[in-house]
Amino acid sequence: MSPDVARPVRRLAMISLHTSPLDQPGTGDAGGMNVYVIELARRLARQGIEVDVFTRATSSALPPVVEAADGVQVRHVHAGPYEGLSKDELPGQLCVFAREVLRTEAAQPRGHYDAVHSHYWLSGQVGALARDRWGVPLVHTMHTMARVKNESLAEGDTPEPEARVIGEQQVVEAADVLVANTDIEAKQLINLYDADPGRVEVVHPGVDLEVFRPAPQAAARAALGLPADAQVVLFAGRIQPLKAPDVLLRAVAVLLEREPALRDRLVVPVVGGPSGSGLEHPESLAELTAALGLGDVVRFVPPVAQSQLAQWYAAATLVAVPSYNESFGLVAAEAGACGTPVVAAAVGGLPTVVRDGRSGLLVDTHDDADWAHALGRVLTEPGLHDRLAAGAAAQAREFSWDATATAMLETYERARQLMRAEVTA
């Protein structure tokens, strides 16, 4: 089908195969990508774009279509068994999923969708097929990349399979435009996947500044049952080796050896659930907590809704993001928007989100002692916490989903121009 590139983008097919934007972040495979997909879709809809999000159905009870917001529909595609499939088993369902996506479009008038935006490599495989069948441009966001993850594996974590590397390379070659979250990710696409620099666009994700904003710490702590005078070191995210919550716990143990007087006031909430390779040993973090003698300090909290997560950020003295890799670092951005300093690993997109010495501290290693030193500085160094808190709130204003949506619309139009040039060449 020949593309109608003269018409502006009015209707978008968004593909998020392996995780639904309706899922609770912090559970299973749901995380920052889920937030990205639903928030971007909502903001695009506010600008007059109709968005259909295709995702795999994981329960027979799910309705075929859910209206997630005005102008945003989530379509549950039946592909494989509803439950029991791991992410590594999903490639076997790509053909079925793609067939159902194409069938949905075939029931509409010709030229129903103006562009495809796929998220993660599995969705990119489907998006590439839809691009060629519908004659519309494919914009793809990786979110994470196998070669990047394999270069910075946590100890004992499982490398990403070669099949994923090959699949990602195919998507890089098929996409009209690749969206990178940061300049660093753009360079990784170019250097590790030989992406055409002229087809890579950097668009920062955003933060819902209506939900994540500075709030009185005392009120947040009272609502969550935290002591008013506590030193609260928060971890929020999926519990898996990549996110490195174990690094934080070991650092806390070292910190308490150095500063035993902190123990009576220190609280370390871990907000999130096991995910990915963390599901292989779901009790491992609790076992580590006991082995380190931190049972009186650490609190495990199940994943919470965005509004309550904002309360946790507001209640925290600092938020720790010790990940081995982050394509952006949404937790760090959300915490900063609440005016809470972040101590983060200097990896991936985190140096974009956290400005060392201004909105938080960056740690160049995952060494227990280095992390203990950084945490201790924010907790005990006079004036540092307040200075970083002010800087975090100021920097967070640079990230908004409305700005992301506006930049993405420009990216869709660029993809259409590139496709037109390809067709007429």
Residues making up the binding site for UDP-N-acetyl-alpha-D-glucosamine:
24-25, 32, 238, 243, 304, 326, 334
What type of residue is 356? D
Annotated binding residues for Mg(2+), as ranges? Answer: 313, 316, 340
Structure token pair of residue 93:
């369902």
Annotated binding residues, as ranges? Answer: 18, 24-25, 29-34, 87, 120, 144, 164, 238, 243, 304, 313, 316, 326, 334, 340
CA-CA distance, 41 to 284, in Å (whole number)? 36
Annotated binding residues for 1D-myo-inositol 3-phosphate, as ranges? Answer: 18, 29-34, 87, 120, 144, 164
Strand bridging mode 50-56 / 11-15: parallel
Could you tell me if 27 and 19 are in contact, meaning their C-beta atoms sit under 8 angstroms apart? no
Name the nearest CA neighbour of 257 among 293, 307, 296, 299.
293
Please give the radius of gyration of the chain, using alpha carbons only, rounded to the nearest integer.
Answer: 22
Q: Which residues contact 91 (CB under 8 A, 6 or more apart)?
A: 122, 125, 163, 167
Within 10 angstroms of residue 250's Cβ, the number of other Cβ atoms is 21
Q: What are phi and psi of 67, to 5 degrees?
A: -85, 105
